[in-house]
Amino acid sequence: MQKKRVVVAGMGFGGLRASKALAESNFELIMIDRHNFHLFQPLLYQVATAGLEEEAIAYPLRGLTRKWPNSTFLLSEILGVDLIGKTVQTDTGPISYDYLVVATGSRTNFFNMKSVETHAFDLKRLSQAEDIRNHILLMFEYASREKNPERRAALLTFVIVGGGPTGVEFSGALRELIVFVFSRDYPTIAVSETRIILVEAANTLLAAMPEHLRLYALQKLRSMGVEVMLEGRVVGATAESVELHGGTVIPSRTLLWSAGVAASDLAGRIDGVERAAAGRIVVQPDLSLKEHPEVFVVGDMACFIANGAPLPMMAPVASQQGEYAAGMILAREQGKTLPPFHYQDKGSMATIGRSSAVAVAAGMTFRGYIAWLAWLLLHLYYLIGFRNRLVVMMNWTYAYWFQERQVRLITSKKRRADKTLG
């Protein structure tokens, strides 16, 4: 008898976890992704700030899956899903399924501000992290020879939008890169000439954390020299400036956007589904679609209501949902049922800088060195591949003891920096 086919669309945290759980089953497993690697997104900002090389936070999917029986990886772009015909449309042709796990993640949400989308960097893909690193290095190269004080100031001003973990971590890492490394690489540029401005629309950073940790993060960033603008909102941008609500204009050649995410474009190309805010697809308590119980949506694409609010778009949620969806598929084939999905919140954390972080876990809160050490160990644990763990640990150790960043390579000069500076 022909084996039933499970298609996993997207190999991020949710798709990878679902695939692992199904790898030893009696299904034909087909995994599809536009990239041939799994990306550990929580460390993307360290690639962007010259702390890690790209290969250290990514792992080849074929290397991960080659020993899984009855499984096939397909490098392809997913164009849509035909729920009635039970096929996934890809740029290499349609793929039929008996069960489908949709896990294509999210994209940056610019809230329909076209000027911001045009001129801002975001941090969702590996290539974007490299672009940001190139751009930051080029800003200092250009500033080191710029004689006009206004142009020089704009080159050395970096605006980061979004006071969540990404914005906080990027701000701290960039400040340390400037203070500990660029101050020696570019002796003609004083640290005091540089500005890092973190803009947050709410009245606090890290809104999901307890108040005393939010206050600690705010005070720590400001003590490092980061300008934190709370209750500030970016409404526009050009190649040479950032405009805030109220008319304030900040001359800057660098805008990093980390203020929001939305479901991936695929969510808008699936007909006959209910959508919620940010384009997320509403799912049933078992993560399936209401009219199509053979289709499961997990991770950032899924809108799952818990305690009156959608679960956050975070890697731990995606991982747990991917594993649950696989369990549901196996249970159905065995004629069993499972209780509704329940997210186990194991805590959250964010690093601020050298020997400094905030963390919430098991009902307890941590800050400072202990939280920072926990952050390091946890991220090393969840990285895929012994080599990656070793390389990251060596880079972190070297940076800690010698206050140095080794990956200061300008690998391209064809990005926004050249367009804006001529």
For the chain, give the number of residues: 422
> If phi over 0 gives left and psi between -120 and 50 gives alpha, with beta otherwise, what is residue 60?
beta
Q: Are strands 71-75 and 58-60 parallel, antiparallel or unpaired?
A: unpaired
Cα 163–Cα 164–Cα 166 angle in degrees, nearest 5 = 105
Gap between the Cα atoms of 349 and 372, Å rounded: 9
For tokens 């500990």, what's the residue? 180
Q: Are strands 356-361 and 348-353 parallel, antiparallel or unpaired?
A: antiparallel
For tokens 């509704």, what's the residue? 340
24 catalytically annotated:
no
Q: Give burial (CB, 10 Å; 0-12/13-18/19+) of 236.
A: middle
3-class state of residue 59 by DSSP? strand
Q: Cβ atoms within 10 A of the Cβ of 263, count?
A: 26
Query: Which H helix or E strand runs over 374?
Result: helix 369-382
3-class state of residue 404 by DSSP? coil
Gap between the Cα atoms of 381 and 359, Å rounded: 16
Cα 309–Cα 314–Cα 318 angle in degrees, nearest 5 = 95
Alpha-helical segments (H) within 233-314: none
Selecting among 130, 146, 169, 323, the annotated active-site residue is 169
Contacts of residue 275, Cβ cutoff 8 Å, sequence gap at least 6:
263, 267, 268, 281, 282, 303
24-48 burial code (b ≥16 CB/10 A, e <16)? ebebbbbbbbebebbbbbbbbbbbb
- List residues with catalytic annotation: 169
